[in-house]
Structure 1
């Protein structure tokens, strides 16, 4: 919301009074004087005017979790256990998942209450790399790397995946970098070679890499540098 509109919600302040307050440097955002009423204000910022608090900013939360297999990436579910149940109760409120993993997959999961931040992390137009360790049921075909680099056509959606980089680690293991997050994309890409994915572990999203110290099911708060990288 724009700052002047937030100020306009006050029951006794009119438009001209708000303009005067801004010009007279009586409006503070996060304890800093602001004179531009068009400034966008988010839910995490504290706004005061004439020593009256109009919005008490709530704390922004950014977590990384090492998601274990068998847990659903959802805020709630009537059947399956969800990753939210791995968090203390006081941290679950208002958190959402930025870039889900299916129940059989594991690895880096990001949880936050900052919607604008999470959209920047997951927006496919921004082409942020997502890196996965993939284990397959059959031998990885020799032409898989080239085909992935060219893009795989999905006729149901009538789309071709963006170029992906495959680094083969063994006969049945690879590190795959993609820049999208389409429905079951990696499994479907390997499915073109009739090669089932038996293990999928996300290692990184953008510049955020899963902390090797986190055991499956453990989490920690992101560092300031990790938050700023998005």
Structure 2
């Protein structure tokens, strides 16, 4: 195994970071300072030290996390709580989030220390599909659906989006669905008659632009008030996980999300 891979999978840091550590002479193998990240080691018999302390090989880890609203997808934030606050009793050194979800978006978030896994899911040319469930103020007619299905312009100087798949599940007035919508307060609703059109459904995209789902739906006249990621690739959120809970991915799930 390569030395940099060993360190990355032993909670020392991401692959790019540990390469710097190695080049700066912070790492020893069997008592000798090694400055070449690509050197091959035996993870079972070689003694690896980082800053004078022996490194125990932990291997790759893959977490499924049900992200609640109100948390930042980051390791730390000066103002807001982050998704890592839910892993207080877990050694998360070297573990990072795969992609991100907006602060007010819920649902499936993956975390790992495997850089290759992240690359397979996040690299734009891989076109990994991500599906979201949404509630939005507004309506979606056939023309809107066709636009989203063909690709749409979200803003000035931006390329047209890749085609999205849309499945409308519910459509009508807010007064019909207010008890189904998982939102506590909507200041944009007509408080007198609740005659605000609303629509719910699933949208699947294969890109990862900033606020993409919200902006795509806004481009056809819909204002997203609730968003939850339901799946990445062939992997669906385990609905038995309560918000804020996590578990390890199974080997079958890991292969499924990689499309194998």
Band the TM-score falls in, shorter-chain normalisation: 0.7 to 0.9
Q: Is the 8 A contact 2:139 2:221 kept in 1?
A: no
TM-superposed deviation, 1:56 = 5.4
Give the TM-score normalised by the residue count of structure 2.
0.68
Matches within 5 A, 1:118-129: 118-129=118-129
Aligned to 1:217: 244
In structure 2, relative to structure 1, the CA distance for the partners of 1:131 and 1:40 (3 Å cut) is: farther
Q: What runs of 5+ residues in structure 2 fail to find an aligned partner?
A: 7-28, 33-37, 49-54, 172-198
Question: Secondary structure of the residue that 1:198 maps to in structure 2?
Answer: strand
Give the Å deviation of 1:41. Answer: 6.0
SS in structure 2 at match of 1:153: coil
C-alpha contact (below 8 Å) 2:135/2:201 kept by paired residues:
yes
CA separation of 1:40/1:222 partners in 2, compared to 1, >3 Å: closer, same or farther? farther
User: Which residue does the alignment assign to 2:111?
Assistant: 111
| Distance in 1 of aligned mates of 2:244 and 2:40 | 35
Q: Is the CA contact 2:166–2:204 (under 8 Å) kept in the aligned structure 1? A: yes
CA distance in 1, matches of 2:95, 2:245: 16
* TM-score, with length taken from structure 1: 0.76
In structure 2, the residue matched to 1:25 is none
Alpha-carbon separation, structure 2, partners of 1:92 and 1:103: 21
Structure 1: runs of 5 or more not aligned: 13-38
Measure the CA separation in 1 of the matches of 2:40 and 2:80.
38
Q: Is structure 2 residue 207 aligned with structure 1 residue 180? A: yes
Please name the residue that 2:167 is paired with: 167
Residue number in structure 2 paired with 1:146: 146
Comparing 60-69 and 81-90, the one that deviates more = 81-90
State the secondary structure of the residue aligned to 1:147.
helix
RMSD: 2.6
Q: How many residues align?
A: 196
**Residues 141 and 193 in structure 1, CA contact (< 8 A), matched pair in contact too:** no
